[in-house]
Structure 1
Amino acid sequence: MNILNSLLGKINSPAPKDVAPQTEAQNQSAKTEKTKITVLVPCYNSRKTVAATLKSLQASQYTELDVMIVDDGSVDSIEDIVQGFNDPRFRYFWKENEGLGLTRNFGINNALGEYIFFLDSDDVIYPDSLSNLINYAQEHQLDVVSGVTVRKIFETGVESEWYRSLYKQNSINELKNRLSLYDDTLSTNKLYRVATLQQHNIFFEVGLYEDKVFTSKLYSKIDRIGLIDNRVYVWYIYGGGTSITTTKNLENFYGRMAAIRNLWQYLPELRRTYQMGFFMNHDLLIYLREFVFYSEEEKKAIYLDALDFVQTNKRYIYTRLVSNSLNRACLDALCAGNEEKFIYTANILSSTFQDELSKKAKV
């Protein structure tokens, strides 16, 4: 019998007559310890990184885990790596390649835990991540709890926190007051009750940037979402365009635009104004910063797709939400349908940004 089961056995044994009854806090603690969490680790050619991911799970203070390692049609199987951990909580699956979203859906449909947490195979969690999430979920009877994500550049170790302003203190975000939470488009910093996802048909869809659509569904359907101020997830950023988040080619741009159009149906009316600002300040901006590297045909393609989106949703544009001068000039060009001005301005924006990057690299 392991230590955890031994402790649970003591908790569940009848108390001697001369021992005081357990407090409500102790009962809650015992309940939390018994609640199983499924951690879904989707893998695709992950031999170089998955061991660190699984080690972070073994270091978790919360031990009542069902870890599903799903190999999504990798060329190089990781089954031997998983077996090397010799951990009975680790379940290995191999399936034909379907993509990240459908792999996560596989986890939702085959989880043994009451809750599920998504952990990518090139990221890690902190030892207290799952404990902090489940404790808050059960203390406040929540179906979803979200925590702070740390973006960490793998090569340098430089860290930044993803939308820390949303997580200043522990709180419960309600649907009637939900607006800025839509900024956090990540699915990997959250703990979900499995039955709730199934009941509300909150699953991932096929395509790039599945998280954007998934979290928009989540935010539009779940009334109470817990927010905790603890760091719960380390999102590694790798150089050389090795992940979807660092790839900025035309295909990737089209994938992002498709996701944005899809999530639009889940946004409350007031949020759409802010989403247009987010589109210019983030979604489109990351491609404008790379604009000088695109061919003339690619530049025109980006302009035409952005033009269609802006013109279709023109009524939601509030220009003061776009403060950057060159970025604002690009928005003005899209509103006016001025291709020449857009491409000219985007080239200047990109050149300026790339020059600043070069200067920082030399320091």
Structure 2
Amino acid sequence: MKVSIICALYNEEEYLVKAINSVLTQNYTNWELILVNDGSTDCSSQIIRSYSDPRIKYFYQSNNGVASARNLGLKKMSGDFFCFLDADDELTPNSLSSRLRVFHKDQNIEFVDGIVISIEKEKELYRPRFIGNPFNDLISLSGKTFFGPTWMIRNTGKVYKFKDGLSHGEDLLFYISISNSGKFGFVDEITYKYRQQNQSAMSNLKGLEKGYLDIYNELKINPLVTSDQLITFHRKFKSIMVKCYFANYRFIDALEILFR
């Protein structure tokens, strides 16, 4: 069974070698790494072309954003399962094999996650504990399922597509769009190493707020989302943003969203 690993990148020359090497050192070898260069102006292209492994497939497009780049990767993939890897993050050597074991044990499972740690501190950031359909938990922002680029997904032939134009929250909306059916499971092993120092969401809180609002507007036109779920999402994202603004001493912004 082949696993497609989709990596969208833009000017990631500093960490790209580590990301690619983390795939090359997988103890499961039936994979393809689909690298989509979203118009990088650094040496990313030269780095990728230095690899001769035929499992590495390289595509270039003019700069159009991470959602567009991932969509190109989704179109090009040929795997029975697929996952994503940000170009500044890394997979652990057992990342593919450990999650595949969960899929093989239960044919009803469509999504599998694992433990996520910080690269810089090797500190645990997320440990999944949820089994079942994740649709409601994603919408309620319960935290039971992590909505970073860390899931492995069984390719069931659904329409897999990111919403173009989102700068924040693209993973969450994508997972919501494919999880109305299917079972979520997890492996109690570290599968993904996340680099925090370059993550800019907390330094761009207005962008984060806009991302939540964009998702909210998409949920409003989703016939599978109930009015109660919509209300829960709206309340929860406002609560998250208020806490973020207060933590950064942006009290006016916090009050504005609180009473909006």
Q: TM-score interval w.r.t. the shorter chain?
A: 0.7 to 0.9
Aligned to 1:194: 155
Counterpart code for 1:253: E
1:121 deviation in Å? 0.3
**Within 5 Å, which residues of 2 pair with 1:202-351?**
202-206=160-164, 207-208=166-167, 209-219=169-179, 221-238=180-197, 242-263=198-219, 265=222, 267-269=225-227, 271-272=229-230, 274-276=232-234, 278-292=236-250, 299=252, 303-308=255-260
Counterpart code for 2:96: L
Separation in structure 2 between the aligned mates of residue 127 and residue 73 of structure 1, nearest angstrom: 29
Separation in structure 1 between the aligned mates of residue 35 and residue 67 of structure 2, nearest angstrom: 14
- With normalisation by structure 2, the TM-score equals 0.84
SS of 2:19's partner is helix
Higher helix share: 1
**Within 5 Å, which residues of 2 pair with 1:123-134?**
123-134=89-100
Separation in structure 2 between the aligned mates of residue 250 and residue 188 of structure 1, nearest angstrom: 22
Q: Deviations over 1:82-103 (max 9, x none)?
A: 2323222111111011111121
Q: Deviations over 1:263-310 (max 9, x none)?
A: 454545554565355324434422332234x8xxxx35x6445533xx
Tell me which of the two structures has the higher relative contact order, counting C-alpha pairs closer than 8 angstroms and 6 or more residues apart: 2
Separation in structure 2 between the aligned mates of residue 101 and residue 236 of structure 1, nearest angstrom: 19
Counterpart code for 2:243: L
Percent identity of equivalent pairs: 19
Separation in structure 1 between the aligned mates of residue 73 and residue 258 of structure 2, nearest angstrom: 35
Separation in structure 2 between the aligned mates of residue 218 and residue 71 of structure 1, nearest angstrom: 25
Distance 1:135 1:204, change over 3 A: same
SS of 1:51's partner is helix
1:111 deviation in Å? 0.3
SS of 2:157's partner is helix
Is 1:148 the counterpart of 2:114? The answer is yes
Separation in structure 2 between the aligned mates of residue 107 and residue 143 of structure 1, nearest angstrom: 23
Counterpart code for 2:246: L
Distance 1:190 1:158, change over 3 A: closer
1:179 deviation in Å? 4.0
1:46 deviation in Å? 0.4
The answer for unaligned runs of 5 or more in structure 2 is: none
Separation in structure 1 between the aligned mates of residue 187 and residue 237 of structure 2, nearest angstrom: 26
Q: Deviations over 1:88-138 (max 9, x none)?
A: 211111101111112111111110212211000011111111111122213
- With normalisation by structure 1, the TM-score equals 0.62
Separation in structure 1 between the aligned mates of residue 226 and residue 97 of structure 2, nearest angstrom: 32
The total of aligned residue pairs comes to: 252
Distance 1:107 1:159, change over 3 A: same
Is the contact made by 1:101 and 1:210 (CA closer than 8 Å) also made in structure 2?
yes
Is the contact made by 1:74 and 1:97 (CA closer than 8 Å) also made in structure 2?
yes
SS of 2:90's partner is coil
SS of 1:279's partner is helix
Is 1:76 the counterpart of 2:35? The answer is no
CA RMSD of aligned residues (A): 2.7
1:144 deviation in Å? 2.1
Q: Over alpha carbons, which structure has the higher Rg?
A: 1
Separation in structure 1 between the aligned mates of residue 208 and residue 8 of structure 2, nearest angstrom: 20
Q: Deviations over 1:193-222 (max 9, x none)?
A: 334332xxx421021221121122223x22
Separation in structure 2 between the aligned mates of residue 40 and residue 193 of structure 1, nearest angstrom: 14
Separation in structure 2 between the aligned mates of residue 112 and residue 90 of structure 1, nearest angstrom: 13
Distance 1:306 1:75, change over 3 A: farther
Aligned to 1:29: none
